[in-house]
Amino acid sequence: MHCLSFDELLEDSASLPAVPKAAAHAHWSVLQRLVLEVTERLASDRGYEQLVGFRPADLFPDSHYYHALLMAEVLDGSKYDLLASTLPWLYHTLRSQGVPYDYLRIEHALWKDAIGRVLEREHARPITAVYDWMLARHEQIVALAEHWNDPSARDPGPYPDRVQALLAALLAADHKSVMSICRDLEASGVGLPELLQQLIYPVMTQVGLLWEDGKISVADEHQSTAIVNRVLAALYCSQSFPETDRGRALVSASVNEFHEMGAWMLATCLELDGWDVTYLGANVPTSALLLKAEQEQPELIAISVTMPFNLRPARNAIAALCKRLPQARILVGGQVFQRVPSLGATMGADACLSSCLEAVTWANRLPNRHTDALYRDP
């Protein structure tokens, strides 16, 4: 068997036929039913429990829903680059958490079967063809997962030694050393925005990769995040914020998005640049985001998305914001767009940017916003 490279898998996925809009809509309309069917099948069959060593339905109801959301995003517009980019990462991450590769093959077969039984044949056929491709490429995806090196993971930036020192301090839960490393970098003349982008972001990326590789536990990952949050709060409170009034900004993570570090970093960088920022944090319901935006009437709204299954609700939120606040400029960013850059153009935002520093530079050009709008349809 010829082992496909990651680029070859992407190229291979592009040969899949497009899924008609009617089929994608039909899939979305029965999403909850499909999730229930797959979950019940796994819960009722002792063979699956023996395969993985525990009752799958006790662990995977949420993951089934996230799979369905991911596939809905893939099918809507036939985003096969998203599918091919996500599968090796997903296989690698789940295997590192103790899930056998065979479980994923069996689960995908169950999804195909459920779709064939629930949807009308004309709608089911193009979708089950995607699952046939996934099943046929299972061993190829396993091979990629075994040697997975996330292409979206950035290099350590200009301070590789400090990144490694900070990573070691975080894993040792050494709060004092974490603070000392950050303070020393500040004392050398590096401002907090650069520290966030060039030190904190690379080290938190490394923490995430260690969890994906199964080298640290979820508790270790959360502890590292908590330490960073405490240290950054101290650094934030020691800043001198400018009097400049560049405008009002609203920054939030998308609904169901619990990764908020990027959104917090952007909010802080905008504040330090003179913006009046309202920061909403993680998992903000769309209705609450809309209400706050209408109350605040910001010139800039930024939304962070990390996980691919959160793209659809984020896109819906952006569409609603564009309708209710047409004067506001909307920025989107997050890890998912670094893994699949083409997704940025599908979100309906004015720009999709990969760093806080780039975002601040872009925001400062907003007086020319009509010529700077990058993605939103006229």
Instruction: Assign domain 160-237 to its CATH superfamily.
Output: Methionine synthase domain (1.10.1240.10)
* Identity of the residue numbered 269: C
Confidence of residue 371 (pLDDT cuts 50, 70, 90): very low
Look at residue 56 in the predicted model and tell me its pLDDT: 52
Pairing between β-strand 300-304 and β-strand 351-352 as defined by DSSP bridges: unpaired
Look at residue 341 in the predicted model and tell me its pLDDT: 94
Q: Within its chain, how far is the Cα of 120 from the centroid?
A: 32
Average pLDDT over residues 57-75: 86
Measured CA to CA, the distance from residue 142 to residue 88 in angstroms comes to 7
Tokens of 113: 């079967």
Q: Name the DSSP letter for residue 61.
A: H
Look at residue 53 in the predicted model and tell me its pLDDT: 60
Q: Which residue has the tokens 């290099």?
A: 155
Q: Which residue has the higher pLDDT, 117 or 371?
A: 117
* Residue 59 in this model has a pLDDT that exceeds 70: no
Average pLDDT over residues 44-55: 67
Q: Could you tell me which of 87, 84, 77, 92 has the C-alpha nearest to residue 14?
A: 84
Tokens of 131: 């699952």
Mean pLDDT computed over every residue of the chain: 92
Confidence of residue 1 (pLDDT cuts 50, 70, 90): low
Measured CA to CA, the distance from residue 124 to residue 343 in angstroms comes to 25
* Identity of the residue numbered 80: Y
Task: State the Cα angle at 275 between 271 and 278, rounded to 5°.
Answer: 75
- Given the candidates 1.10.490.20, 3.40.50.10680, 1.10.10.10, 3.40.50.300, the CATH classification of the domain at 6-146 is 1.10.490.20
Q: Which residue has the tokens 């599918």?
A: 83
Domain range annotation of the chain: 6-146, 160-237, 247-372
Q: Note the pLDDT tens digit of each residue in 295-317.
A: 999 999 999 999 999 999 999 99
> Which residues neighbour 328 within 8 Å (Cβ) at sequence distance 6 or greater?
293, 297, 298, 299, 300, 301, 321
Pairing between β-strand 329-333 and β-strand 300-304 as defined by DSSP bridges: parallel
Torsion of CA 333, 335, 341, 342, to 10 degrees: -80
> Which residues neighbour 20 within 8 Å (Cβ) at sequence distance 6 or greater?
123, 126
Q: Which residue has the tokens 């940025």?
A: 344
Work out whether the CA dihedral 75, 76, 78, 79 comes out positive or negative.
Answer: negative
* Residue 368 in this model has a pLDDT that exceeds 50: no
Q: Note the pLDDT tens digit of each residue in 121-178.
A: 999 999 999 999 999 999 999 999 999 987 766 677 899 999 999 999 999 999 999 9
Instruction: Assign domain 247-372 to its CATH superfamily.
Output: Cobalamin-binding domain (3.40.50.280)
Q: Note the pLDDT tens digit of each residue in 197-212.
A: 999 999 999 999 999 9
* Residue 373 in this model has a pLDDT that exceeds 50: no
Q: Note the pLDDT tens digit of each residue in 180-193.
A: 999 999 999 999 99
Q: Which residue has the tokens 């809905």?
A: 72
Q: Within its chain, how far is the Cα of 96 from the centroid?
A: 19
DSSP string, 127-178: HHHHHHHHHHTHHHHHHHHHT---TTPPP-TT-HHHHHHHHHHHHTT-HHHH
* Residue 369 in this model has a pLDDT that exceeds 50: no
Contact 245, 224 (CB under 8 A): no
Does residue 217 sit in helix, strand or coil?
Answer: coil
Confidence of residue 272 (pLDDT cuts 50, 70, 90): very high
